[in-house]
Every structure is written in C-alpha cells, then in structure tokens.
Amino acid sequence: MKHWKRPLQIIVGAITTGIVIGLAVQTAMHASAPPSVSTNATPVESFNAASSDQQDPNVLAMERDIQAQERANAEKEKVRARRAAAGAKLVQSRKNILFFKQSQWSALITTNFSIFEASRKSAASAADRWVRCQICDGRGQMNFCLACGNSGTCSACGGTGQMSSDQMCPACFGTGKCFLCTGSGMMACPFCDDGLVTANQPYPPQTLTVQ
C-alpha cells in the first residue's frame, strides 16, 4: 500500500506546482501589458471632426471678421477710458501750468495797458468805431506764448501727448500741442479781438486763466 501512494503524491504535487506557476506567469503578463485603448471615436466626436474639416470658407471668414471687430471695439473702449480720465484732469492740469506764468502775464498787461487805453479812445472817435491793435500789429496774436515758451509743444508732456504708455496727457488732451497757442508758439493777443480794438473793448483779465 505504501509503495503505490508515494508516486501518487509526487504526481499530484507536480501538477499543483505547475498550476501555481502558470497562474503566476499569467498574472504577471496581465500586469505588465499596457491598458487597451479604444480607437473608435464616438458618433459626436466623429461629427465634430467632419464638421471642422468641411466648414464653409465663408463661415470661417465671417468668424475672423467678428473676432477682428471685437478686438477693435476693445481698443476703442480703452481709448474712451483714457480720454475720460484725461478730461477729468484737464482744467486743473492747465491751471497748474498757468500758475507759474502769472508774473509774466502781469508784466505783459502792465507794460501795454497805456497803449491799449489810447487805442480805445482812438476807436471811440473813429468812423467805424474800431482801430487796428498796436500791440500785436493787427495780427490778433502775440509773437510769443507764455505757456510753452514759444515752442508750441505741451509743457506737461513735452509734446508726446502721453504721460505714460496708457495715460493721455490731460493738459493737451493727447495732441502734444500747447493748449494756449494750439501749437503755433504765438498766443492770442489779450488786448484785441482778432486784431481790432473797439471803443468798448473789454479790458484784459488781470490773471491768466483757463479758457
């Protein structure tokens, strides 16, 4: 009895060992194999891809035009915001410039006041009730500008029209030109009206003010 049981035990053990080894190898192969990826696109994805490839050139052109218009509108809004910010500071920035020119203005008025008075009296006795301004030689402009020193450029921004890359100059409102002479370097004559002095010509202001 004992002689035939031992070979049977050996056979059963070998079969069991083989099964265990086979399961281990199969498990290792499954673990190392990359996950399977389905290459089949869904119906929606296939439709979108086909639609993109077959899109009408006119539709594409329309989309580009819409995008360009949106960019242009955004830029216009930026410009509008800069102009609004500059406009809010315009009067005060010009007052600041003229504040430092008051002594020169006072000297101008005092020096020429007697000539102005004489012109008014002459106009009162003239047939047309006006005479040419002797202070500006009838041009209506002085040959200088107090605000910019005759350069014609804005003294606040140096003629650039900008205080920074995104801030418009409030004194010249982005033009780069002197606000008092509008870029000519010659401000308006304060003693006449376009080169003419009438009998009731208003007196020039005692202080240089923002118009």
DSSP annotation of 198: E
For the chain, list the strands marked E by DSSP.
130-132, 162-164, 167-168, 196-198
CB atoms within 10 A of CB 142: 21
- Residue partners of 193: CB distance under 8 A and separation at least 6: 140, 201
Residue 131 CA, distance from chain mean position = 49
Q: What contacts 24+ positions apart, CB below 8 Å, involve 108-117?
A: 108/146, 108/190, 109/190, 109/204, 109/206, 112/191, 115/191, 116/191, 116/197, 116/201, 116/203, 116/204
Mean per-residue pLDDT over the chain, rounded: 83
At 174, the pLDDT band (50, 70, 90 cuts) reads: very high
Is the per-residue pLDDT at 51 higher than 70? no
Is the per-residue pLDDT at 35 higher than 60? no
Q: What is the pLDDT of residue 4?
A: 46
Q: What is the pLDDT of residue 11?
A: 54
Angle at 64 between CA 60 and CA 65, to 5 degrees: 115
Virtual torsion, Cα 174, 170, 98, 143, nearest 10 deg? 10
Q: What is the pLDDT of residue 67?
A: 81
pLDDT tens per residue, range 68-123? 887 888 777 777 888 899 999 999 999 999 999 999 999 999 999 999 999 999 99
Q: What is the pLDDT of residue 196?
A: 98
At 180, the pLDDT band (50, 70, 90 cuts) reads: very high
Range scoring the smallest mean pLDDT among 23-27, 102-106, 202-206: 23-27
Higher-pLDDT residue of 7 and 197 is 197
pLDDT tens per residue, range 119-159? 999 999 999 999 999 999 999 999 999 999 999 999 999 99
pTM above 0.75, yes or no: no
Q: What is the pLDDT of residue 18?
A: 55
For 94-137, give the DSSP string: HHHHHHTTHHHHHHHHHHHHHHHHHHHHHHHHSTTSEEE-TTTT
